[in-house]
């Protein structure tokens, strides 16, 4: 049986709070970017668009909670798909999610700069004055682009230095963001929210079906990022205990804040104003709140810039851990799984795929609306990858009923198994989740002019790289390498110090084979 190649071990430096903050950094920040983009498409139905995307997100969150706590290995959805349905589909899932992560880096670096630019008018500087024409490209904002590239460079240095430093950055900035969000939501609803204004916008400014589909598919931006917790599960202490706790709390935390800000925003401002301020929508919402508005707006802009910055930081981490995993399992050349001898981080993948994010950012600024261009491509990778994750979850319930599951998706239908095999718990919600994510992907393909071209093109390019590598390495192109998943699971549980689960797993295998074979 082939064993995963390794360029070094990842260090378990992530605590329970750090695990939560990795997820919050990627998901909790997304409303700061998505609100203005969604309002520009869904118009008066913006809260409904967020609610539709939120239901799908909830199901994705439950699936990832089960899988990441059962298989605490770097790689996230790519690893689950690889283990559940094979190498080829594992690579496709990884490629789709990698597109998402690289755009995550660039999109949220752009958004972070946008929030910091809220302060420029007070300094007598107007961001629009830095827009220039470069050949056929009009309105290229060199200052905003320069800020974005500087942020990406800063995050590369932080991530190469070590996940403990990167995680600590998330923890400090995340606390400030949560406090700021709570203050804005409470003061906004108590002192400023006008329910009649929101209902009026829903009634008189309801979008066309095409626009609503575009808006609800953009709203998924607010909920993409649960992968981050599973990506760092291999570097998390006691992941089987920590991951379910942090994932479930994150799911409901983010869902509440996203819905609260969309409802609050539509009860304070016309949807057109939110759409016009796609770079800093939450700051504009805070500015409208009496009593605290004069202070809340700049504070929200500062906090928004910081929290979106750590979301970009999560993108750097996730892209590097994903490609580290893909290389470890023979889906990419082993060159990518090298770990820095001093910092114990996958420095090569950090540099390479942060470089891809730089290219995407430059491309986006060559268009008239950089954030809209990146947002247009963002949802394709996530929805394509999540569909495969739901399939993998169902497949693993059948193929691997022996692995202990500290958390299991609710609403299961018990199926009779073969003699000597545990009963199969068929996950009904996984089917619902697959349909929900598939609907969002359909909306993306139908309504995202750039995404439906750039997304499949990225997958095709990655598949060409995959086939060339696998052919040269004399590995099956559509089939899977032989692997001893049982020994791999033993090793994972032992390294994670989940000794109770290891004993439970050994007992299950003993019942399967007979104790003399275990």
Q: What is the mean pLDDT of residues 412-424?
A: 80
At residue 26, the pLDDT reads 61
Instruction: Give the pTM.
Output: 0.84
Q: What is the mean pLDDT of residues 289-293?
A: 83
pLDDT of 160 above 70: yes
Q: What is the mean pLDDT of residues 115-127?
A: 85
Highest mean pLDDT among 133-137, 180-184, 278-282, 427-431: 427-431
User: For residue 404, how many other CB atoms are within 10 A of its CB?
Assistant: 18
At residue 254, the pLDDT reads 80
pLDDT digits (tens, 9 = 90+) for 309-352: 877 887 887 787 788 888 888 998 888 877 777 777 778 888 88
pLDDT of 21 above 70: no
At residue 515, the pLDDT reads 46
At residue 412, the pLDDT reads 93
pLDDT of 374 above 70: yes
3-state per-residue secondary structure call for 404-427: CCCCCCCCEEEECCCCCCCCEEEE
Closest CA to 225 of 382, 356, 79, 374: 382
Worst-scoring range by mean pLDDT, 15-29, 94-108, 300-314, 410-424? 15-29
Cα dihedral 79, 219, 312, 27 sign:
negative
Cβ–Cβ < 8 Å for 496, 240:
yes
pLDDT of 286 above 60: yes
Closest CA to 15 of 246, 252, 309, 312: 246
Cβ–Cβ < 8 Å for 207, 215:
yes
Question: pLDDT band at 22, cuts 50/70/90?
Answer: low
Secondary structure element (H or E) that encloses residue 269, with its range: none
pLDDT of 61 above 80: yes
At residue 211, the pLDDT reads 92
Q: Phi and psi at residue 131, in whole multiples of 5°? A: -80, 130
Residue 1, judged by CB atoms within 10 A of its CB (0-12, 13-18, 19+), counts as exposed
pLDDT digits (tens, 9 = 90+) for 426-449: 999 999 999 999 999 999 899 888
pLDDT digits (tens, 9 = 90+) for 228-259: 666 555 556 667 677 777 777 777 888 888 89
Worst-scoring range by mean pLDDT, 51-65, 90-104, 244-258? 244-258
At residue 518, the pLDDT reads 45
Which one is predicted more confidently, 356 or 25?
A: 356
**Above pLDDT 90, what percent of the chain?**
30
CA 368 to chain centre: 26
At residue 314, the pLDDT reads 77
What residue ranges define each of the domains in the chain, with the CATH number in brackets? 16-116+139-144+152-483 (1.20.1740.10)
pLDDT digits (tens, 9 = 90+) for 451-474: 888 889 999 999 999 999 999 999
Closest CA to 22 of 324, 310, 381: 310
Q: What is the mean pLDDT of residues 137-152?
A: 88
Cβ–Cβ < 8 Å for 152, 109:
yes
Question: pLDDT band at 28, cuts 50/70/90?
Answer: low
């Amino acid at each position: 049986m082939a064993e995963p190649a390794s360029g070094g071990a990842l260090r378990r430096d992530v605590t329970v709070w750090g695990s939560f903050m990795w997820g919050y950094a990627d998901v909790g920040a997304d409303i700061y970017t998505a609100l203005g983009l969604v309002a520009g498409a869904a118009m008066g139905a913006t809260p409904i668009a967020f609610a539709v995307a939120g239901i799908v997100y909830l199901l994705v969150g439950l699936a990832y909670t089960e899988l990441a706590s059962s298989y605490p290995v770097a790689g996230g959805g790519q690893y689950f798909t690889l283990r559940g349905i094979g190498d080829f589909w594992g690579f496709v899932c990884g490629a789709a999610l990698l597109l998402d992560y690289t755009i995550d880096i660039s999109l949220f670096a752009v958004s972070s700069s946008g929030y910091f630019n809220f302060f420029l008018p007070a300094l007598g500087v107007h961001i629009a004055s830095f827009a220039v024409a470069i050949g056929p490209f009009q309105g290229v904002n060199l200052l905003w682009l320069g800020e974005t590239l500087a942020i990406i460079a800063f995050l590369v240095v932080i991530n190469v230095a070590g996940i403990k430093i990167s995680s600590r950055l998330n923890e400090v900035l995340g606390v400030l963001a949560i406090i700021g969000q709570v203050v804005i939501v409470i003061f906004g609803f108590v002192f400023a929210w006008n329910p009649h204004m929101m209902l009026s916008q829903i009634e008189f400014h309801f979008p066309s079906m095409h626009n609503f589909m575009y808006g609800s598919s953009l709203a998924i931006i607010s909920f993409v990022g649960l992968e981050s917790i599973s990506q760092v599960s291999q570097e998390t202490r006691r992941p089987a205990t920590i991951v379910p706790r942090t994932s479930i709390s994150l799911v409901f935390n983010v869902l509440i804040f996203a819905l609260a800000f969309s409802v609050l925003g539509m009860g304070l401002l016309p949807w057109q104003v939110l759409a016009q301020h796609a770079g800093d929508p939450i700051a504009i919402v805070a500015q409208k709140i009496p009593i605290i508005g004069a202070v809340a707006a700049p504070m929200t802009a500062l906090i928004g810039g910081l929290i979106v910055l750590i979301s970009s930081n999560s993108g750097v981490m996730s892209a590097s851990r994903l490609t580290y995993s893909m290389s470890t399992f023979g889906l990419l050349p082993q060159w990518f799984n090298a770990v820095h001898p001093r910092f114990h981080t996958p420095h090569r993948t950090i540099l390479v795929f942060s470089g891809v994010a730089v290219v995407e950012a430059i491309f986006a600024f060559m268009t008239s609306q950089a954030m809209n261009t990146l947002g247009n491509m963002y949802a394709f990778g996530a929805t394509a990858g999540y569909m495969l994750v739901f399939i993998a979850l169902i497949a693993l319930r059948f193929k691997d009923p022996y692995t202990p599951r500290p958390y299991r998706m609710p609403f299961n239908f018990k199926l009779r198994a073969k003699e000597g095999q545990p009963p199969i718990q068929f996950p009904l919600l996984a089917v619902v989740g697959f349909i929900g994510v598939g609907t969002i992907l359909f909306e993306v393909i139908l309504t995202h002019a750039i995404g439906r071209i750039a997304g499949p093109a990225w997958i095709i390019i990655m598949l060409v790289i995959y086939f060339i590598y696998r052919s040269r390495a004399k590995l099956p192109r559509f089939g899977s390498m032989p692997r001893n998943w049982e020994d791999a699971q033993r090793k994972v549980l032992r390294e994670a110090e989940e000794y109770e689960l290891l004993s439970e797993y050994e007992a299950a295998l003993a019942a399967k084979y007979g104790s003399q074979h275990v």
